[in-house]
Structure 1
């Protein structure tokens, strides 16, 4: 069965004509456009395949919303780009045209909504407390509602505009709905990216560590780039350059996914050392974690940052009872002074033991009782 007359007349118009490409493929004479179609579709699929390989190589466990949203968003780009390649190049005609329509539609769902879920799945890393819980809940329902009110009507109009019954009516409706859903998904992306930008700026104001500030600045820059890319796509859609907009959409979404995967991975490492209940702002200042679940090796690594363990013969990874006790507000100044003197004497004791052990090879005849007497005198 040949393509409908409506499809043929519509597809023969210039690709710069408003709505060109909505119905049927491209039958114009521009070889440059054909090269662009093949190039951008191939680039989008290549970026998606590279992202999928990177995901499986970097994740230790193939589970969680972040993993699956990345996976499906990246995987959706491949049938989306392939479907438009088959459609615009007229590789599928007649009844075979439905293969291209099904492919681009099936890929469009996870590519768009999956992109939003990638950002949403990491919001808990930068928002906290009751306000953070409300933000997470509101944005979750925003994504669900947008998926229902934008995906379903657009799908119906897509199949109708490429069918044989009232094709012109469906194409007119699709042209309007395409702009509506583009604006809706653009506002969704701007909302999520703006939350990252605002919360990241707050973290930057309290952060002291240079690595943390670098990561936060990169997060702000990437979310600003994402908004800029969405603005470019929205501009092409408002200009009714449908072919160019759909070709660039797959490439841009693949680039955005790769950027988000890179920076959100750094964000996970940034907050990975924070204690339960400790926000990223506290971790960014560089506090020493004292969680009970931290093993002895991690505590030793933290202590070694400011203590020369080679000169210490006692176990400093576990605080002594004297240093572990917290002075009461009612404690007298005399007792506080004694505690300070005791702490000073204890560290001097450690230093003296290290010094005596270094000189034991040359002065081994020194009586043991004399050394003990010296350390007791210094402790007093």
Structure 2
């Protein structure tokens, strides 16, 4: 399908605003910001984790790297640099990795707070089914919209593209709501007020992700297709950066709420050990709380400077409790 055919068709890529310069400037800025965030995310992946493994790590890495070809594919299409099926295929593959990867990041994070295995299985099944039901038809329709018989696919793509956008946004909302609900439940088991700031920050991050999805949907229904697709790349890069913003708090929160008698094995999903070259704030994080054994305040140190897994040591003014490993 030639550039002239695309411009004359009803395909979403031709739905541009009157001010082409302003729109293309916005597109270029959004792609540049998304690429900058993506490069930073890739570096963070390899410097934050001590062990490169687990579903959480790989989903973060793949979804972060997918932002670059996704933006590049639409950059080639929007600016008519190389408007071909190769560009479309590149952004489609990146779109699958970016969206499904983000959902799997949220799903992996559920293992920190959800103890019900049925919930974990059903949410994973939801992600797999949505990927098959929505991404495969949308990919076929978009490829067809750039073919020589675009008139057969254009209208269907314009409708189905909006449907899949809402479906994936609702999927992420479901995962965020489950996580927030379980996090609130666990934090309520701790002494009142000691984890209020952590709770508020976690809820704000999840609310921000939901609002960003709503903004992307709003731009999509406004008819600004070019800005919509590049805004998606930027929004997904910001959502992944928010994961790192709360990662340290998730580690401390999980280790504090975990029980020595019922440890949670997260090695297959979330690597809770930080890289040994982290800053001092992450190497030695402390929280003070009261325990049933003593009314004296105790300081909990999460030590991660050693190559071995993180350990929690308790010290207090009571000699009987000093240097006791949890």
In the other structure, the counterpart of 1:233 is 216
C-alpha distance in structure 2 between counterparts of 1:59 and 1:195, whole Å:
25
Per-residue deviation, 1:216: 2.0
The question of 1:153 aligning with 2:137 is answered: yes
C-alpha distance in structure 1 between counterparts of 2:123 and 2:67, whole Å:
23
C-alpha distance in structure 2 between counterparts of 1:143 and 1:209, whole Å:
35
C-alpha distance in structure 2 between counterparts of 1:22 and 1:215, whole Å:
46
User: Relative contact order, CA 8 A, sep 6+: which one is greater?
Assistant: 2
The question of 1:114 aligning with 2:101 is answered: yes
Please show how residues 230-309 of structure 1 align to structure 2 within 5 Å: 230-273=213-256, 274=258, 275=260, 277=262, 287=291, 301-302=313-314, 304-307=315-318
Q: TM-score, normalised by structure 2?
A: 0.79
Which sections of structure 2, spanning at least 5 residues, go unmatched? 265-286, 294-310
Query: 1:80 is matched with which residue: 67, 70, 74?
Result: 70
Please show how residues 1-380 of structure 1 align to structure 2 within 5 Å: 3=2, 5-10=4-9, 20-21=12-13, 30-93=20-83, 97-128=84-115, 132-165=116-149, 167-208=150-191, 212-273=195-256, 274=258, 275=260, 277=262, 287=291, 301-302=313-314, 304-307=315-318
Deviations along 1:283-310, one digit per CA (max 9) or x if unpaired, are 9976589xxxxxxxx78x52x312269x
Q: TM-score, normalised by structure 1?
A: 0.68
Shift in alpha-carbon separation, 1:177–1:284, aligned structure 2, 3 A: farther
C-alpha distance in structure 1 between counterparts of 2:152 and 2:288, whole Å:
57
Shift in alpha-carbon separation, 1:270–1:204, aligned structure 2, 3 A: closer
Shift in alpha-carbon separation, 1:306–1:99, aligned structure 2, 3 A: same
Structure number with the higher helix fraction is 1
Tell me if the contact between 1:87 and 1:100 (Cα under 8 Å) persists in the aligned partners: yes
C-alpha distance in structure 2 between counterparts of 1:157 and 1:286, whole Å:
59
Shift in alpha-carbon separation, 1:4–1:236, aligned structure 2, 3 A: closer
Which sections of structure 1, spanning at least 5 residues, go unmatched? 11-17, 290-297, 310-314, 319-380
Tell me if the contact between 2:6 and 2:14 (Cα under 8 Å) persists in the aligned partners: no
Structure 1 counterpart SS, 2:153: helix
Tell me if the contact between 1:21 and 1:242 (Cα under 8 Å) persists in the aligned partners: yes
In the other structure, the counterpart of 1:312 is none
Shift in alpha-carbon separation, 1:284–1:307, aligned structure 2, 3 A: closer
Deviations along 1:220-252, one digit per CA (max 9) or x if unpaired, are 110011111111112222333322211100000
Tell me if the contact between 1:22 and 1:171 (Cα under 8 Å) persists in the aligned partners: no
C-alpha distance in structure 1 between counterparts of 2:161 and 2:14, whole Å:
10
Per-residue deviation, 1:264: 3.3
Structure number with the higher strand fraction is 2
Tell me if the contact between 2:11 and 2:145 (Cα under 8 Å) persists in the aligned partners: no
Tell me if the contact between 1:22 and 1:161 (Cα under 8 Å) persists in the aligned partners: no
How many residue pairs get aligned? The number is 284
Shift in alpha-carbon separation, 1:189–1:316, aligned structure 2, 3 A: closer
Structure 1 counterpart SS, 2:13: coil
Rg comparison, structure with higher value: 1
